[in-house]
Chains A and B, each alone.
Chain A
């Protein structure tokens, strides 16, 4: 099936006017599959890191949200071992008026403001609540080990 106009337009704009600190490039052989990188926000434990993600637009996008997963290991209360992200707009609060760029911006914001009260990675969230400085230090260490090459 041919690619819907909406996806073509979104891709064009992502290339022509990229969001600072975010990069999303579709695969040549599958224009619904994107390689994404997000720069860790300044003043966060992820600062300096470049995180790789994969993004897939399902058949009924934008009626259903894109599927997004971190490929780079990250220590974050709302991101689990498999890289799955706990973010409301990726689930029940998705709206078809949202776009790839707005969703990626939300993920970048999530890196800047972890929310241990709505955890996906329970152990990380637990640690975040019990000893935040130590958790942040671990996040920093992981960033250095996995997200800086």
Chain B
């Protein structure tokens, strides 16, 4: 199947909004443009084959750059693609082939000053923008022969790049619009979730626990980025992200988290939360298919004209925000800062020794926090250094090291865990006391050994 066909089919099948459809790359039109370029070139006697051999001959292919207008959002700068042939003034044999615009800056200068001189010096080409206007520089002499530059303005080529640039600009505008919408949606959901999940000791209607569980599973699902260290937190492909989101959905369903809400608003918010993730996926899919169209059309352009556009355009694409990864990254950032982080997760408040909630939390002078039971055990074992940083801070700690504000925070946000840990601590202390008393009365366990 031709790509043009499958491209329009995908655009139709996915339920992209009308303005998205309109902003999609006009692949067919660009293709027609390529035909025009081809025609124009062949009218000049420059078929793709001839151009290819010229470029090969001069070895200048890698150095040749086609200046593109900077993709500043909302503006399409005008420029004139030109083909510059350096030929021997005597016999007209081409010495070099080069595009007139080497860099963006020189392009802008060229457009502004409208004077160009191409010089060939010692076999290296360099472009000199006429610094003093009106002064004509003598054509350089190479190997004792005079050389001459011929400039060919390519009208249809400029049409192609104009079209492509404006396509990119509108895609970019669309993306930033979609990104803005999604972000404000995320922030709104965040605000609403904070409301229904706020810890209220008197009001039993708080949905703190189910929401915490939902966000924990969400983070674990690593939907847009891998959450595995071994995978370097790699970005997911659209397909993989879709798969992970489905996994997240089914996990929420399996645990029946939707039914655990006490506040009816929560269920609605959960649907919105899932919806916003679907929105991100849709933008990613749209960008991916457009990126593919872009790659295909540039490939076609090069094949038909041998003007080497692909060498310049990848940077062009990469330099702006056209990549979907930018979108995923930006939205994931908003997602964690304005939504996920609103509910503290237990993993961030565990004692590094016993892996339970740090109740009661003791903060050493080095600012590392441990639960009081583990600290007492360290002190009894006469361990001096902090388990995290080895600073001599353990033995000096006393009741003044209790972090009371952290304690009340933990009791507020993790009431169940804090209570359970408190009970465990008490049981452990009671056991120790019992053992001590037992040893006092019966003279220690050694005497119990029947010999």
Contact = CB atoms under 8 A, between A and B. Distances in A.
A63 B352 contact: no
Interface in A1-50: 4-6, 9-10, 17, 20
A4 B377 CA distance: 15
A64 B230 CA distance: 29
Contacts of B355: 4-6, 9-10
A95 B390 contact: yes
A31 to B, nearest CB: 15
Nearest to B230: A20
A97 interface: yes
B353 interface: yes
A6 B228 contact: no
B396 interface: no
A4 B354 contact: yes
A81 B352 CA distance: 35
A41 B137 CA distance: 64
Given A17-B230, A20-B230, A63-B381, A96 B374 contact: yes
Given A6-B355, A9-B355, A96 B230 contact: no
A6 B390 CA distance: 21
Classify the secondary structure of A's interface with B: loop
A97 B352 contact: yes
Contacts of B353: 6, 62-63, 96-97
Contacts of A95: 385, 387-388, 390
B418 to A, nearest CB: 15
A15 to B, nearest CB: 13
A53 B353 CA distance: 24
Nearest to B388: A97
Contacts of B229: 17
A62 B353 CA distance: 7
Contact of B354 (A5, A17, A20, A98): A5
Classify the secondary structure of B's interface with A: loop
A17 B390 contact: no
Contacts of B166: none
B394 to A, nearest CB: 11
B356 interface: yes
A118 to B, nearest CB: 19
B262 to A, nearest CB: 28
A37 B356 CA distance: 29
A63 B230 CA distance: 29
A20 B231 CA distance: 11
A10 B381 CA distance: 23
A2 to B, nearest CB: 11
Interface in B226-245: 228-230
Nearest to B380: A63
Nearest to A7: B355
A5 B351 CA distance: 11
A17 B228 CA distance: 8
Nearest to B347: A9
Interface string B374-417: 10011001000101101000000000000000000000000000
B432 to A, nearest CB: 13
Given A17-B228, A17-B229, A17-B230, A96 B387 contact: yes
Nearest to A8: B355
A98 B390 CA distance: 12
Contacts of B388: 95, 97
Nearest to B352: A97
B356 A5 contact: yes
**Max chain A C-beta neighbours (<10 A), residue from B355, B374, B378, B388:** B355
Contacts of A5: 354-356
B383 to A, nearest CB: 8
Contacts of B356: 5-6
A121 B413 CA distance: 53
A12 to B, nearest CB: 10
Nearest to A9: B355
Given A17-B228, A20-B230, A63-B377, A6 B385 contact: no
Nearest to B353: A96
A6 B230 contact: no
For the complex of A and B, list the 3 residue pairs with the smallest distance between their C-beta atoms, beginning with the closest.
A97-B387, A6-B355, A95-B387
5 contacts: A6-B353, A10-B355, A17-B229, A63-B353, A96-B374
Interface of A: 4-6, 9-10, 17, 20, 62-63, 95-98
